[in-house]
Chains A and B, each alone.
Chain A
Amino acid sequence: MKTVTLSLLAIAVGLAAGCANVQRSRDLGNPDVSGQTLAEQVCSNCHGVTGSATSPNFPNLAGQQEVYISSQLHELKGHSRRDPAGFEYMWGISRTLTDKQIQELAAYFAAQKLRPQPIEGTTTQIDGGRPIFNVGIPAKGIPPCHSCHGPDGMGNEKFPRLSGQHADYLVKQLTVFQRTDERPEGSIMKTVAHELTPENIVDVAAYLQALPQEKAP
């Protein structure tokens, strides 16, 4: 009797498995799974279901420029972006995404609203970063961030939104731009970040992370 019960249970599970709903799939190899489903079932694990990542290990994607998200996914899929954050986590996730899925993912996250997050830097750091964002460091030939990323740091197509991004993520990426060639798509940032000191990087990252509150009416 016990064997029969367990066998029936196994069959039931098997049947249930066969009726899997593509609307809730985590299959990265199935082109029929929509970008929104992948965003909810897979991307949300690190980036949050609406693109607001709890851990600063992972970038916020909410309200990010659609063009930028799309280009990054292509860069990651093609392995031309090869910084640790990229290849450790994202090469695998992006390897079989279709162009359609990438476009849907980009549109999904671009349409989300960034959840208010705690300030991650100190007042001193934020104060130190403010002039770098607004006027740059003219003596070193460093242009202000807002000249490309917008007056509110919200980005502009291929220039990503920086406002509200996790400070630790920004520090790591600025360091990648400055010291490596692991993000060739952002080579312009290598020139921009070249003369930044480690303190400058921490300060401007803290300011950018706090920008939503800074610019709040």
Chain B
Amino acid sequence: MLRGALSRAIARPAIAMATFLLAALTCIPAHALPAFNRQTGQNCVACHAGGQFPELTPYGRLFKLTGYTIGERQALPIAAMAVASDSHVSNTSKSKDPSADFQKNNSLILATASFFAAGKITDNLGAFVQVTYDNYAGQSDSGSWHGHSGADNMDFRYADRVISPENDLIWGVTANNNPSLADPWNSVAAWMQYVPVPSPTSSSFIDGNTPYPGFAAGGNIAGLAGYLYWNQLVYVEAGGYRTANGVTGFMSAGVPKDEKTKLQGTNPYWRVALNKEWGAHSLMVGTSGMVADVYDDPLDTSDPSSVHHFRDNGIDSQYQYLLDPHAVTVQVAYTHDSHRYPYFLANQPVVDVDGNPLPNTNTNDTTNVFRAKGSYVYDAKYGASLAFFNQNGSTNTALYDPTPVYGNISTNPGIRGFTSEAFWTPVQYLRIGLQYTTYDKYNGASHNYDGAGRNASDNNSLFLYLWGAY
């Protein structure tokens, strides 16, 4: 039964993707390379471990920390990427309205596309600017989807390096729109991810929508940070983030006003990492944190006490074994988030679907997210990975939601499961992958988490994608 469903889920989009793949391989000239490749003339594997994005090799880390300035400045430092995908949720029957709850299930879609302007500007100044188009960003009242473009990752940096046989010091200043974006390791919040990330609204249960260690303030804010990397051994970064507006408003361009993160004042971010490289191995152990005050209503920041106070602390580690043609990576990350609610959301009465009173909402919450991922890539072509995710935290009736499929009647934020992936990269600018995400806990329960009989495993999702870059 499951095999039949999976076969059907895979077969149709697979044929379409195969056709696209053939066309793409035929049409794109063999020398096609994205912006950084054009700047350095090097293959993707020079900077990306086994060619899997966005994970950086030791060389890629140095390329980034020295401000993307290695190579030759390009007259037109631009690149683009696009993702076509198809996702399949294991069980769509436990829903009152499957066509509304699983709108793009089993549909081959052009999910997202990104435009990049990236590379060397001067000897010391470089940038990485990504703008992403989500083809399924929203829906009209009539139900038709519409796309939307917005600011994605943006990192502008000035960097210098003083190096001798005795000492190696890289230092820099980064202006970016996402805490940890400037980091060169991929176990931090901004970078520990499966790529490509699909349109979030069209594939609700695939890995891109599972819990990831991160900072509550999220992206699309504006920050300035300084960093040091000494002897490729110690990395320190510290800075502060504010609302992206005025001269930094472009860092949240395209984000709807009511979805913008509005921060109160300057919110500190810090990062310390220890790195060791020996032979083909490298190991990093690090910690990072952020304290943020986020306005509850982005459209009304008149009341200074209407903020959520977040205190995030995390530890993370990344191990790599890179020796052509083998690339082995293990990433582990854990974040503890402490959340204090604004007065008008704390200690509020809640009733269940039958009108029975539940305990009042919490004044404070804690949430912990753990994630581990291991991957192996052979010859930068054939890759596989397995990831485990586990989110737990305090029970809070503010989470009470009896809505079928997406609801939560346990009032606990617990989500736990695995994601596995296999991919093939026939050429370095094209990848086809198959991802499967399984859940044994969703919204605090394994069984009947929504009060309508839906189990966590009903959300198990298959995700097939074709990624291309130029």
A binds B: yes
Contact A24 B160 (CB under 8 A): yes
How near does chain A come to B86, taking the closest CB pair, in angstroms? Answer: 32
- Hey, which bits of chain B sit against chain A, CB under 8 A? 37, 40-43, 45-46, 58-59, 62-63, 66, 69-73, 120-125, 158, 160-165, 168, 173, 224, 242, 246-248, 277-280, 322-324
Contact A172 B41 (CB under 8 A): no
Closest 7 CB pairs of A and B: A92-B41, A29-B72, A20-B123, A17-B125, A88-B43, A92-B42, A17-B122
How near does chain B come to A88, taking the closest CB pair, in angstroms? Answer: 4
Residues of chain B lying within 8 A (CB to CB) of residue A216 = none
Contact B43 A87 (CB under 8 A): yes
Residues of chain B lying within 8 A (CB to CB) of residue A17 = 121-125, 158
How far apart are the CA atoms of A29 and B119 in the complex, in Å? 14
* In the assembled complex, A26 has its CB within 8 A of some CB on chain B: yes
How far apart are the CA atoms of A42 and B42 in the complex, in Å? 13
Q: What would be 16 A-B contacts, judged by CB atoms less than 8 Å apart?
A: A3-B246, A13-B125, A27-B123, A29-B72, A40-B163, A40-B164, A44-B168, A45-B58, A45-B62, A49-B165, A54-B277, A56-B280, A57-B324, A91-B41, A95-B41, A172-B324
- Hey, which bits of chain A sit against chain B, CB under 8 A? 2-3, 6-7, 9-10, 13-14, 16-18, 20-22, 24-29, 40-42, 44-46, 49-50, 54-57, 84-85, 87-89, 91-93, 95-96, 118, 120, 168, 172
How far apart are the CA atoms of A120 and B160 in the complex, in Å? 35
Number of A-B contacts (CB under 8 A): 115
Contact B324 A84 (CB under 8 A): yes
How near does chain B come to A206, taking the closest CB pair, in angstroms? Answer: 14
Contact A28 B72 (CB under 8 A): yes
Output the nearest chain A residue to B242 by Cβ-Cβ distance. Answer: A2
Question: Given A27, A28, A42, A85, which contacts B324 in the complex, CB threshold below 8 Å?
Answer: A85
Residues of chain A lying within 8 A (CB to CB) of residue B58 = 45, 55
Residues of chain A lying within 8 A (CB to CB) of residue B70 = 26, 28, 41-42, 45
Output the nearest chain B residue to A90 by Cβ-Cβ distance. Answer: B42
A16-B164 contact in complex given A57-B322, A57-B323, A92-B42, C-beta closer than 8 Å: no
How far apart are the CA atoms of A89 and B72 in the complex, in Å? 15
Residues of chain B lying within 8 A (CB to CB) of residue A89 = 42-43, 46
Residues of chain A lying within 8 A (CB to CB) of residue B124 = 16-17, 20
How far apart are the CA atoms of A88 and B324 in the complex, in Å? 11
Question: Given A9, A18, A40, A44, which contacts B122 in the complex, CB threshold below 8 Å?
Answer: A18
Contact A93 B246 (CB under 8 A): no
Residues of chain A lying within 8 A (CB to CB) of residue B59 = 45-46
The prevalent SS among residues of B at the interface is mixed
How near does chain A come to B211, taking the closest CB pair, in angstroms? Answer: 34
Residues of chain B lying within 8 A (CB to CB) of residue A25 = 123
Contact B277 A92 (CB under 8 A): no
Residues of chain A lying within 8 A (CB to CB) of residue B121 = 17
A3-B73 contact in complex given A45-B63, A88-B43, A89-B43, C-beta closer than 8 Å: no
How far apart are the CA atoms of A206 and B121 in the complex, in Å? 44
Output the nearest chain A residue to B246 by Cβ-Cβ distance. Answer: A3
Contact A93 B277 (CB under 8 A): no
Residues of chain B lying within 8 A (CB to CB) of residue A95 = 41
Contact A168 B158 (CB under 8 A): no
Contact A56 B323 (CB under 8 A): yes
Contact A21 B123 (CB under 8 A): yes
Residues of chain B lying within 8 A (CB to CB) of residue A93 = 40-42
Residues of chain A lying within 8 A (CB to CB) of residue B158 = 13, 16-17
Residues of chain A lying within 8 A (CB to CB) of residue B324 = 57, 84-85, 172
Output the nearest chain B residue to A58 by Cβ-Cβ distance. Answer: B59
Output the nearest chain A residue to B157 by Cβ-Cβ distance. Answer: A13
How far apart are the CA atoms of A3 and B324 in the complex, in Å? 49
Residues of chain B lying within 8 A (CB to CB) of residue A120 = 279
How far apart are the CA atoms of A156 and B172 in the complex, in Å? 43
Question: Given B46, B161, B242, B247, which contacts A7 in the complex, CB threshold below 8 Å?
Answer: B247
Question: Given A18, A87, A96, which contacts B72 in the complex, CB threshold below 8 Å?
Answer: A96
How near does chain A come to B80, taking the closest CB pair, in angstroms? Answer: 20
How far apart are the CA atoms of A120 and B123 in the complex, in Å? 38
Residues of chain A lying within 8 A (CB to CB) of residue B322 = 55, 57
How far apart are the CA atoms of A55 and B232 in the complex, in Å? 14
Given A2-B246, A27-B69, 11 extra CB contacts under 8 A: A16-B158, A24-B123, A24-B161, A27-B73, A27-B120, A28-B71, A44-B163, A45-B62, A57-B323, A57-B324, A88-B43
How far apart are the CA atoms of A118 and B160 in the complex, in Å? 32
Contact A88 B46 (CB under 8 A): yes
How near does chain A come to B412, taking the closest CB pair, in angstroms? Answer: 41
How far apart are the CA atoms of A89 and B42 in the complex, in Å? 5
Contact A26 B66 (CB under 8 A): yes
How far apart are the CA atoms of A22 and B224 in the complex, in Å? 26
A92-B40 contact in complex given A6-B247, A57-B323, C-beta closer than 8 Å: yes
